[in-house]
């Protein structure tokens, strides 16, 4: 290992991802058997990622842009280990923490306090760690007085604040942000932006997916532009964003 | 990897395993050294007529066991309590008397088998011809009984006759001489336990070598899973348990009430049909219900674990088996709560609690593994075909009927019994009943059946799940 490689937190090397999906989505055994018998079962090959390579260095903020279906979410899934690529390799140095979409790791019947522990456990944090960071999480999310109330009584803004606090207060090594910054009121948006900046200053590597080019311009160091599963452009934020605006919109 | 912690865990599990084996040995010594044998008796066809004081019944019976310790008689009491004695003499073909005992007639059941235990087991030669003489003595006024007989029309040759009050009649009495053969399983028991310890020691030894050279192996991955994901599993289980009854007034009390209520209903319906054939019917019924409920609940919850956690599976990486396994563990918590009403019922019905009840731990461990295996299979199937849950609804209903939950095993025709007993649920429930109601350990064969069903389903489940888990996310 040479010194240059140590700095790379994420190395994506020639990753290709093909889905072999049935022509119609088959959800029942009957359909499957009928189609198998009538030989109408055909699979469409869908290339979601085609020879994608890029590196992310420690503390870098990498933006991912592209149209819907360009493969942004797929590459995030490959990086977090949820999907295994058909070809290529992803090397990760550190723990990957995804910032969950509104409530997906929450249980609406449980209180805010119980959800902090549940969600923290899902994100891979230990019990001691959550105990020590508990107060910080509650304070940052500004829901002290509702912490023992079931989540179903929260507003969506409160839930988003809680999710953001849990994911970021612990300084993950790699943070994945998929379009969740536009939550909460203006105040909290400002606060969360500051927190992100802080994290990046503290050495957290961030993968950032957004349709809002303004946010990308403001926060990212480098940008990968994906188009139909291929890397169309990879480079400095300003260059790629300008090209995207000219060509894309 | 933390070697000190690992060492501690390994030593503790070895100690627990050895203590457990010793306790099982101590409780089950009798069943591990004896194999019980039930003698032959024909299907009851008719009664042989009223037996009153002084009547002598004589029949030749072939000994089927090495030791005979009881006689089972199917009698009719004309639905009243009779008073008097029944004297039994057993002699061999050389006419020397082997046993003479006398029994209380008031204990006779009406139209079902009554068991009279001997004071001491009688040693005979297997296959030996025994002459059994029953004599009714000192019967009170208005007291009389009868015995059932079968094989009336069969041309079985010379054996199928008996003598009633000096008169030779065709047929065979519904009378069994039951006992046991000596087996020496207890010698093998320690051999099996020790070889298990030895094999695991060798395995751990080689695994630790691999760990030191950083090669992937089962031991280290199991260790990592337990240390890294135990907190997550704990959180998910407590979530399931907490939210299950979250908005109900009685909360966890439902876990206790539910089996009691369904037992109440079934007892009300079935007690008149089956009560007389089954000793301690309330406990029999409740054991079946509690065990089967665990099975249904764990599978119904576990099979949807993957699809209902789709949002998480798409976002966060964690071993996917955690979802179905935590659902099963949550049901286990429920099941353990449901053991409380079972214990209450055992106390209320005055069933004596014997050390054999400890063997339930063995039963529950392997029952749990069996359920986990089946859950993994169904959760996999469910992800690809959502029909699975409807199909499972039918199958679990059928499964419920082929398992003796509310009816006695004896209503199953003998021809089907070997197939009937292949049902793993039959094995686990019967195991539990033997420990609770009979207060003795089941025979070695039951242990093997429990272990084998658990291992077969668990291994199949793990293989199927592992092979398909990477495809789950594409179908969610």
- Which pLDDT tens digit goes with each residue over A182-234? 566 778 778 877 887 787 777 788 888 877 788 788 888 889 988 888 888 88
Mean pLDDT, rounded, for A231-242: 87
For the record, the structure tokens of B18 come out as 């050895």
> Sheet harboring A87-92: ordered strands across?
A43-57, A8-22, A87-92
DSSP B438: I
CB A63 within 8 A of CB A220: yes
- Kindly give, in sequence order, each residue whose CB lies less than 8 Å from that of residue B388, ignoring residues fewer than 6 positions away: A29, B303, B378, B381, B382
> Is the residue at B327 inside a domain?
yes
β-strand partners of B445: none
Nearest chain A residue to B236, by CA: A118
Residue B198: inside a domain: no
Whether B19 contacts B27, CB under 8 Å: no
Contact at CB, A30 and B387, closer than 8 angstroms: yes
Within 10 angstroms of residue B56's Cβ, the number of other Cβ atoms is: 15
For A110, which of B232, B239, B385 is closest by C-beta distance? B239
Q: Which chain A residue is nearest to residue B381, measuring alpha carbons?
A: A29
How many Å lie between the alpha carbon of B3 and the closest alpha carbon of chain A?
Answer: 20
Assigned domain for B36 exists: no
Q: Cα torsion at B43, B46, B50, B55 (round to 10°)? A: -50
CA distance B135 to B146: 12
How close does chain A come to B475, measured CA to CA in Å?
A: 9
Rg (CA), chain B: 28
Nearest CB to B316: which of A27, A98, A114?
A98
Whether residues B173 and B246 fall in one domain: no
Q: Are B121 and B67 in contact (CB under 8 A)?
A: yes
pLDDT at residue B393, as a whole number: 92
Checking if the pLDDT of A56 tops 50, the result is: yes
pLDDT, tens digit (0-9, with 9 covering 90-100), for B167-185: 888 888 888 888 888 877 8
Fold of A3-94+211-248: Rossmann fold (3.40.50)
Beta-carbon pairs below 8 A across chains A and B: 74
Q: What is the mean pLDDT of chain A?
A: 80
DSSP states of B373-397 = HHHHHHHHHHHH-TTHHHHHHHHHH
What local confidence, expressed as pLDDT, does residue A175 receive?
84
Burial class (CB in 10 A: 0-12, 13-18, 19+), B394: exposed
Give the position of tokens 């068991």: B115
Structural domain boundaries enclosing B108: 46-182
For residue B98, the surrounding DSSP H or E stretch is strand B97-104
In a domain, B19, yes or no: no
Q: Is residue B221 part of a domain?
A: yes
Q: Pairing between strand A174-178 and A96-98? A: parallel
Looking at residue B156, its pLDDT comes to 52
- pLDDT value of position B229: 85
Of B235, B386, B474, the CB nearest to A117: B235
Inter-residue contact A110 to A147 (CB < 8 Å): no
CB A205 within 8 A of CB A56: yes
The tokens 């046991």 sit on which residue? Answer: B180
| pLDDT attached to residue A180 | 57
Same domain (yes/no): B231, B283: yes
CA atoms within 13 A on the CB side of B295: 25
DSSP reduced 3-state for B102: strand
Whole-number Å distance between alpha carbons of A51 and B129: 86
Percent of the residues in chain A that have a pLDDT greater than 70, as a whole number: 86
B265: which 2 tokens? 């209903």
Contact list, A21 vs chain B (CB under 8 Å): 474
Residue B58 burial (CB count, 10 A): 18
Q: Rg of the Cα trace of chain A? A: 20
- Computed over every residue of chain B, the mean pLDDT equals 86
* Per-residue pLDDT at B4: 79
Is residue A162 over pLDDT 80?
yes
User: Terminal CA-to-CA distance of chain A, rounded, Å?
Assistant: 42
Report CB contact under 8 Å: B315, A100. yes
Angstrom distance (rounded) from CA B55 to CA B50: 9
Q: Does the pLDDT of residue A145 top 50, yes or no?
A: yes
Q: Which residue of A has its CA nearest to B240?
A: A107
B37-65 confidence digits (pLDDT tens): 888 888 888 888 888 888 888 888 888 88
Q: Where are the beta strands (DSSP E) in chain A?
A: 8-22, 43-57, 61-65, 87-92, 96-98, 174-178, 205-209, 222-227, 230-236
Q: Is residue B370 part of a domain?
A: yes
Nearest CA in chain A to B235: A118
Residue of A35, A49, A121, A128 to mutate for B, most B C-beta atoms under 10 A: A121
Residue of B nearest to A100 (CA): B315
| Structure token digits, residue B422 | 């292949």
Does B388 contact chain A (CB < 8 Å)? yes
The pLDDT of residue B461: 95
Q: What is the pLDDT of residue B47?
A: 85
Task: Tell me the residues of A at the B interface, defined by beta carbons under 8 Å apart.
Answer: 19, 21, 27-30, 32, 77, 80-84, 96, 98, 100-101, 104-105, 107, 109-110, 114, 117-118, 121-124, 126-127, 150
Q: Of B182, B204, B239, which residue is a domain's last? A: B182
- Per CB-CB distance under 8 Å, the chain A contacts of B308 are none
Tell me: pLDDT of A102 over 60.
no
Q: Which residues contact B339 (CB under 8 A, 6 or more apart)?
A: B290
Rounded to whole angstroms, the Cα distance separating A19 from A152 reads: 37
Burial of B406 (0-12, 13-18, 19+ CB in 10 A): buried
Q: Pick the closest to residue B329 from B428, B240, B204 (CA basis).
A: B240
| Chain centroid offset of residue B214 CA | 45
Which tokens belong to B85?
């004695």
Say what the pLDDT of residue A1 is.
37
Whether residues B255 and B398 fall in one domain = yes
Instruction: Give domain status of residue B17, yes or no.
Output: no
- Categorize the per-residue pLDDT at A2 as very low, low, confident or very high, splitting at 50, 70 and 90: very low
Q: Which residues in chain A have their CB less than 8 angstroms from residue B316's CB?
A: 80, 82, 98, 100, 105, 122-123
Residue B25, classed as helix, strand or coil, is: helix
Residues, chain A: 249
Number of domains in chain B: 2
Tell whether B390 is within 8 A of chain A (Cβ).
Answer: no
The question of ipTM being above 0.85 is answered as: no
Tell me whether B316 touches chain A (CB under 8 Å).
Answer: yes
Q: Minimal Cα–Cα distance from A156 to chain B, Å?
A: 17
Q: Are A115 and A152 in contact (CB under 8 A)?
A: no
Among B133, B166, B182, give the residue marking a domain's end.
B182
Report if residue B417 sits inside a domain: yes
Which of B167, B182, B197 is the last residue before a domain boundary? Answer: B182
Cβ neighbours of A100 in B, within 8 Å: 312, 315-316
What is the residue-wise DSSP string for A112-162?
A: HHHHHHHHHHHTT--HHHHHHHHHHHHHHHT-GGGTTSBGGGS-HHHHHHH
Check: CB of residue B325 under 8 Å from CB of residue B303: no
CA distance A133 to chain B (A): 16
Residue B202 burial (CB < 10 Å; 0-12/13-18/19+)? exposed
Same domain, B299 and B229: yes
| Crossing angle of helices B424-433 and B281-303, rounded to 10° | 140
CB-based contact A32:A196 (threshold 8 Å): no
Residues, chain B, total? 476
Find residue B131's DSSP bridge partners.
B60, B91
pLDDT of residue A248: 57
Question: What are the chain B neighbours of A98 within 8 Å (beta carbons)?
Answer: 315-316
Task: For chain B of 476 residues, list the mean pLDDT of each consecutive stretch of 10.
Answer: 77 91 87 82 82 86 88 86 88 85 86 86 86 87 85 62 83 87 82 91 83 71 77 89 80 84 87 76 92 94 90 83 92 92 91 89 95 95 88 93 89 87 94 91 90 96 91 81
* The two three-digit tokens of residue B54, written as one number: 């002084």
On whether any CB of chain A is under 8 Å from the CB of B230, the answer is no
A124 contacts B228? CB cut-off 8 A: yes
């Amino acid at each position: 290992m040479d010194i240059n490689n140590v700095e790379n937190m994420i190395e994506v090397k020639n990753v290709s991802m093909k889905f072999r999906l049935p022509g119609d989505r088959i959800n029942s055994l009957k359909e499957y058997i009928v189609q198998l018998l009538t030989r109408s079962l055909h699979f469409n090959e869908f290339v979601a990622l085609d020879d994608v390579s890029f590196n992310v260095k420690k503390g870098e903020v990498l933006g991912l842009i592209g149209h819907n279906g360009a493969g942004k979410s797929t590459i995030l899934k490959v990086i977090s280990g949820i999907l295994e690529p058909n070809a290529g390799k992803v090397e990760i140095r550190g723990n990957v923490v995804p910032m969950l979409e509104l409530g997906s790791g929450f249980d609406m019947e449980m209180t805010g306090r119980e959800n902090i522990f549940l969600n923290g456990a899902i994100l891979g944090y230990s019990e001691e760690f959550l105990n020590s960071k508990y107060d910080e999480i509650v304070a940052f999310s500004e829901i002290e007085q509702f912490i023992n109330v079931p989540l179903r009584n929260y507003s969506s803004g409160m839930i988003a604040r809680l999710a953001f606090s849990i994911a970021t207060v612990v300084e993950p090594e790699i943070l994945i942000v998929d379009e969740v910054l536009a939550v909460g009121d203006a105040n909290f948006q400002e606060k969360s932006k500051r927190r992100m900046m802080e994290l990046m200053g503290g050495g957290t590597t961030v993968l950032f997916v957004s349709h809002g080019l303004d946010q990308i311009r403001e926060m990212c160091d480098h940008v990968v532009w994906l188009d139909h599963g291929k890397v169309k452009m990879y480079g400095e934020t300003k260059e790629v964003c300008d090209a995207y605006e000219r060509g894309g919109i | 990897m933390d070697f000190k912690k690992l060492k501690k865990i390994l030593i503790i599990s070895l100690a627990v395993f050895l203590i457990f084996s010793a306790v099982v040995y101590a409780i089950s010594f009798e069943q591990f050294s004896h194999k019980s044998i039930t003698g032959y008796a024909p299907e009851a066809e008719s009664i042989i007529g009223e037996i009153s004081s002084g009547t002598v019944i004589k029949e030749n019976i072939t000994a089927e066991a090495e030791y005979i310790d009881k006689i089972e008689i199917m009698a009719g009491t004309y639905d009243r309590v009779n008073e008097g004695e029944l004297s039994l003499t057993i002699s061999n073909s050389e006419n020397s008397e082997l046993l003479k005992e006398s029994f209380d007639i008031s204990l006779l059941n009406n139209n079902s088998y009554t068991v009279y235990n001997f004071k001491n087991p009688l040693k005979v030669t297997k296959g030996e011809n025994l002459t059994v003489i029953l004599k009714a003595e000192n019967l009170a006024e208005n007291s009389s009984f009868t015995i059932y007989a079968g094989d009336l029309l069969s041309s079985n040759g010379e054996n199928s006759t008996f003598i009633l009050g000096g008169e030779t009649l065709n047929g065979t009495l519904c009378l069994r001489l039951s006992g046991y053969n000596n087996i020496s399983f207890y010698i093998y028991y320690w051999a099996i336990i020790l070889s298990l310890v030895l094999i695991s020691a060798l395995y751990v030894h080689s695994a630790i070598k691999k760990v030191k050279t950083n090669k992937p192996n089962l031991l280290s991955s199991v260790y990592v899973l337990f240390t890294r994901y135990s907190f997550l599993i704990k959180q998910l289980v407590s979530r399931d348990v907490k939210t299950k009854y979250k908005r109900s007034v009685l909360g966890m009390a439902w876990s206790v009430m539910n089996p009691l209520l369904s037992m109440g209903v079934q007892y009300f319906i079935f007690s008149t049909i089956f009560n007389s054939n089954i000793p301690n019917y309330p406990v029999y019924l409740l054991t079946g219900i509690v065990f089967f409920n665990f099975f249904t609940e764990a599978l119904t919850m576990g099979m949807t674990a993957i699809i209902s956690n789709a949002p998480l599976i798409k976002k966060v990486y964690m071993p996917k088996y955690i979802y179905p396994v935590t659902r099963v563990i949550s049901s286990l918590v429920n099941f353990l709560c449901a053991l409380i009403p079972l214990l209450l019922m055992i106390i209320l019905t005055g069933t004596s609690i014997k050390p054999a009840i400890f063997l339930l731990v063995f039963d529950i461990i392997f029952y749990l593994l069996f359920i986990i295996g089946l859950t993994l299979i169904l959760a996999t199937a469910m992800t690809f075909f959502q029909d699975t849950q409807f199909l499972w609804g039918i199958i679990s209903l059928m499964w419920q009927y082929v398992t003796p939950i509310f009816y006695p095993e004896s209503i199953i025709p003998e021809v089907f019994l070997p197939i009937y007993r292949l049902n793993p649920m039959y094995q686990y429930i019967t195991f539990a009943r033997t420990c609770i109601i009979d207060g003795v350990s089941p025979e070695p064969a039951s242990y093997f059946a429990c272990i084998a069903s658990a291992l077969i389903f668990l291994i199949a489940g793990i293989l199927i799940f592992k092979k398909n888990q990477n495809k789950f996310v594409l179908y969610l």
